[in-house]
Structure 1
Amino acid sequence: MVMSIRMASPLPLIFLLMIYEVSGADWGVSYSHSQICALKNSSVTIYCTYTYPTGHQIKKNFWTKTLFKDNAEPPDLSEDPGYSQRLQYLGDKQENCTIRLSHVTQKDSQMYYFRFITEKDKWTGKPGVSLTVTDLQVESPERVTEGQNVSLTCKSSCALTDRATYAWYRNSQPLTERRDRNNQLLLQSVRREDAGRYSCAVQEHNLTSPEVQLNVTFEPSSVSVSIISPSGEIVEGDSVTLSCSSDSNPPAEISWFKEGTFVGSGSIYSISKISSDHSGEYKCKSRNNHGEKYSDAVTLNVMYPPRNISVSINGSGEIVEGDSVTLSCSSDSNPPALNFSWFKGGTFVGSGRIYSISKISSDDSGEYKCKSRNKHGEKYSDAVTLCVMSVRWVLWFKAFGVGVAVGGVVFGLGGASVYICLTKRMNRRSAMKNSGNSDPSEDVNLCTAYDVSEMSNQMIHHR
């Protein structure tokens, strides 16, 4: 028999052991699994049967994790403080040696052996059962670009012995997305909303893997500009702050543009003392390595009080008694000025952007100003002088005006327009000086105007 075994092809070890157990003296221990992979905190059942020769009576049976080389008796796990509360013997003293070990941890990863003792002999089931306790880990790419497909795998350090059904969670909330091969989660055409913390669990056990962050990158979107300050109207001189926000991953670089011209960078754009020159449309551009996008335009409308106030007189040439004269007031302001006031020599004479005199007289001669006002302020124009020419002065100068001497200054022929402003003040002051009275309100300018070149032409023609 021995010779036939040596000459035959080598047989698997397990087959040799079976031959030995069957043909031996009926001593043996049989385990349902030689290797068991279990999840941390779960309960593990090791199924086991044993046999011994007829006529023997079991005195003691127990499980151990320690084998001694000498004949010393190995320790009984049920008497170990680390196992006594977790180990439950489900067998008997005849043939069943099954046990259950609850709340297993990585420290329980050991070789375990069943040993029984009869009144005649003892036996240890070798090589025993190898228990490996594992936890769960999610295997996932660190980042994925929006639109790509991504697969997440729930892994353990060894293949679980018991059939497991996996559950998936995102940000601690259960997921119902499609799964492949049970322990994989497939996200097709991933979206930015799919970013988050992922974990997996085995439904039959109270064990959840640590969370893994899935980072979804995408180009900028939802780009917008908001005015942080001031909250209301923007008035010249205010400090103005614009903010650009966008949804992007990785974070975007921000650029600012006014009417298409680059003016600055960064998510915040500030103008310390704003002026009307800053009025206009502003946009921001958000850009990362996946793309770029502009915001809609935001208009800065800078308010300011009136400025550049000016008065214009309709028509041209000399103003003669009886003419109709219109003065017009213009100003630059925001909002546009709707309130205009007119003053002659400091006295209020009318309102409105247009001031008209239907039949002007020499009494209307003098300096005129207009005042422009909006809710942010007011301003006066420079004065303009109306010189009204009397009809009799016109005839006199036309008849005799070879030259005109005023105040010791001689104006000859061929000049442009010569304006001669005579005042009642001169005549009346001498009279008031003699009477000892002086009333400034009586000072009224009398202005005459005459075009000397025109007068000379008329005189030559008359001759």
Structure 2
Amino acid sequence: VYAGRVSFDSLTLQLSLHSVQTNDSGLYVLQGVTPKVRAEITLSVQEPITNVSLTASKTDLVEFNDSVLFTCSAYGTPLAFSWYKGSSVVTAGVNVQLSNDGSVLTISNVTRYDMGPFTCVVANNISNGTSRSIYLNISYGPSNLTMTVLPEKMGYISGSNITLSCSADSSPPALFYWSYNDISLNKTGQTLQLLNASQNKTGTYACTAHNTVTLRYATNSLLIAVNDVPIFNMSFMLTCEVMGPVDSVYWMKDSLYLYSDSKISLSNQNKTLSFSQLGLADDGKYQCVASNIVSNKTSMAYTLAVNYGPWNVSISGPAIAQKDSSITLNCSASSHPPSGYSWYFNGSRVAEGAVYETGPLSLNSSGEYTCIAHNNITGNNGSVTAVPSTVVGVGELEHIMLQCMLGAVVQCIVKRAHINRKLKHICGPDRIV
């Protein structure tokens, strides 16, 4: 075995091995008789690490269903194996086993957190090597299904636009299906829009997420309550929808308890709050609280804003204007929501909006200016007609202003009959002689 590869120097007691081989590893002993001496050394001959290889039993897996077995191999002696996921060391644990002197890594019942590049590193005292990376593709979900609604309210008035959205953790991305009161809407996608919602849209909306690879489903639901529009002097009703067993329900307005009285009543085990005739004092934030022996829940606040008007419609602006000038007329009304305004001159529509700015006036611009206020929610109108406006020339304006500035009956000579008629309109017939 050692022929031609070994030499011994008796003077220095040096043993030399040439062209060492791995089977030269072992315990070497020097034994001396005269003088009596003994020395020993253990020699380890190692081969450099080469051809590090990594294989996996499968790379496309389903969370909680599948397991994977990694096998690492290399040339060289001896071999020490270590495992990495990304830059983190992988060690044995509940679902992770190392076997066959560390060359085999088994992960049982993989989870989404096992995704990542796996590598093995093989080393000895003289060299090391790293395998290629293997990435696990793990399908999971749907989980953490959430359902949101915008705007977020306890209840909605008829005509509201409502958007429902659904999201879930899922790979590949989940498909979403919508239902209303357990009946499919034949709608797919992450959002569902209820446009111009009416009271018959009140009910439970459910979103179901489906993963076509894991074959798993998840469902979440929300109750959407659409009420009639609250209008002054009309009846109105709020409903507290409760899921699960309930022992008691009570109502609060602006954080104060509500009780039945001549205007409001409670029915249906206090789940229904009814107003016989809405007034402006009923504006506020309403909540219902449901409780049982183990817990209690408070609803989101419903902001009640009573719609009314238009009331007290009025016009402000000059009653007299000089020819070729322009005037601005303003219309206002007490109304919720704010009224829309239309302007009419002698019965013909001339403008929209609360402010009406005329162009250069002529003598033909004298007449009746009417503002009509309209509330689209209450469906009511209110109107007012301005004091007949008069357009005059500069000289005529001096006479008219003299007549109207004096507080008592004034006697003056008005040379032109049509000016006299205008003064009777503007100042009143008892002010003109």
TM-score for both structures, normalised by structure 2: 0.44
Which has a greater percent of helix?
1
TM-score for both structures, normalised by structure 1: 0.41
Which has a greater percent of strand?
2
Larger radius of gyration: 1
